Amino acid sequence: MAEGEKIQARVVGRREKPRETGSEWIAKLRVFRTVDHRRAVWQLVNTLIPYACLWYVMVWLLRRGTPVALTVLLVVPAAGLLVRVFVLFHDCVHGSFFRSAWANRVVGYFLGSLAFTSFDVWRYSHLRHHANQGNLDARGYGDVWTITLDEYRHSPWWTRWRYRVYRNPFVLLALGAVSSFMLANRFPPREGGRKERWGVLLTNLLMAGMFAGIALAAGWRAYLLIQLPVLWLAAGAGIWLFYVQHQFKDVYWAKASEWDPLQAAMEGCSLYRLAGPLRWLSGNIGYHHIHHLGSRIPNYRLKACYDAIPELWACKTLSIMGSFGCARLKLWDEAKHQLIPFP
């Protein structure tokens, strides 16, 4: 078993023995775990080179005295490419980008430094998210803070107030992008170990090196005028993608005694239907239920997997317009088995 699955397997050992009714089609997922190094390298090329070119053009425009408002127009495609960088980083975390754990780690650290995220720290929390997604008794690792209606009613006023502030879309997306990627990711988690502490230090050093190189070539002002809005937009988009994939009306939550990993993947993750260009920028992460069923499937095989296995079509599907309604949903109603708005 690959290193990236050890934590997950300890918690969800039942995943190795899926329900009898689903064992045949679950086994078909393994076919799509094959890594294609040529496609992986091509993804790095068609992502990093355009991203670097956009940076070069924006720096060139700023140095020529072009109005900042015109330069900012290029921030949007650059942010889209940074979302794609993060998805490739995400594949490295799961060990699905290259066959070699060493290659995944090296490339993952480089991509993570572009996305202001430590490889080991994010791996620490994200694999726990996969191991416990939909488990009411194991919330708190790599997920959006979610409480039940009963918990909300019996919480002190300051907890309810804090939860309302946290679940406000502006706070969650706009301020969350700043607090998570720019600030919180600069420090190791309290529950992390030595690997996570050194991981944060290494990521911060790589980021400092990139900052120094660009600042020397173009000036620190140009770096900040480009980096801050690009990271802010990309982080906000990434948080939204993650949010709608786990925060919709008929999502799956269950107590540990009733929790089922197959059900959690199929009913606790949405299929986010995006147009071709957006699907490319997001690295097919919209096929999120497949990713939770088989986290070792590379991003470039998720759509083919979906098309080949009809059983995967029985999932919650969200369009872009339909997903906006998810922002109203705040609490898990255990009686209705639904996410609901605030009372």
Local confidence band at 8 (pLDDT 50, 70, 90 cut-offs) = very low
For 137, counting Cβ atoms within 10 Å of its Cβ (0-12 exposed, 13-18 middle, 19+ buried), the class is exposed
Q: What percent of the chain has pLDDT over 70?
A: 94
From 83, 85, 43, select the one nearest 300 (Cα to Cα).
43
Q: pLDDT digits over 268-292, tens only?
A: 999 999 999 999 999 999 999 999 9
Among the listed residues 250, 274, 282, 316, the one whose alpha carbon sits nearest the alpha carbon of residue 85: 282
pLDDT in tens, 54-109: 999 999 998 888 887 788 889 999 999 999 999 999 999 999 999 999 999 999 99
Assess whether pLDDT exceeds 50 at residue 14. Answer: no
The helix (H) or strand (E) run that includes residue 338 is strand 338-340
Q: In this predicted model, what pLDDT tens digit does every residue of 308-320 receive, in sequence order?
A: 999 999 899 999 9
DSSP states of 265-276: HHHSSEEE---H
Using a pLDDT cut of 90, give the percent of the chain over it: 74
- The SS3 call for residue 225 is helix
The residues, any chain, with a CB within 8 Å of residue 31's CB and separated by 6 or more, are none
The pLDDT of residue 22:
59
Q: How far apart are CA 33 and CA 250, in angstroms?
A: 29
d(CA 271, CA 252) in angstroms, rounded, equals: 14
Question: Which residues have CB under 8 Å from 153's CB, separation 6+?
Answer: 343
pLDDT at 65: 83
Q: Which residues contact 102 (CB under 8 A, 6 or more apart)?
A: none
**What are the beta bridge partners of residue 316?**
270
95 closest CA partner among 107, 104, 108: 104
Q: Under DSSP, is residue 148 helix (H, G, I), strand (E, B) or coil?
A: strand
Contact 152, 163 (CB under 8 A): yes
When pLDDT is cut at 50, 70 and 90, the band that residue 157 belongs to is: very high
pLDDT, residue 184, reads 87
* pLDDT confidence of residue 180: 86
Confidence band, pLDDT 50/70/90 cuts, at residue 7: very low
Which residues on adjacent β-strands are paired with residue 254?
135
pLDDT band at 5 (very low <50, low <70, confident <90, very high): very low
pLDDT score at 53: 96
Which residues, 6 or more positions from 249, have their beta carbon under 8 angstroms from its beta carbon?
325, 326, 329, 338, 339
CB-based burial, 205-220: b 16+ in 10 Å, e otherwise: ebbeeeeeebeeebee
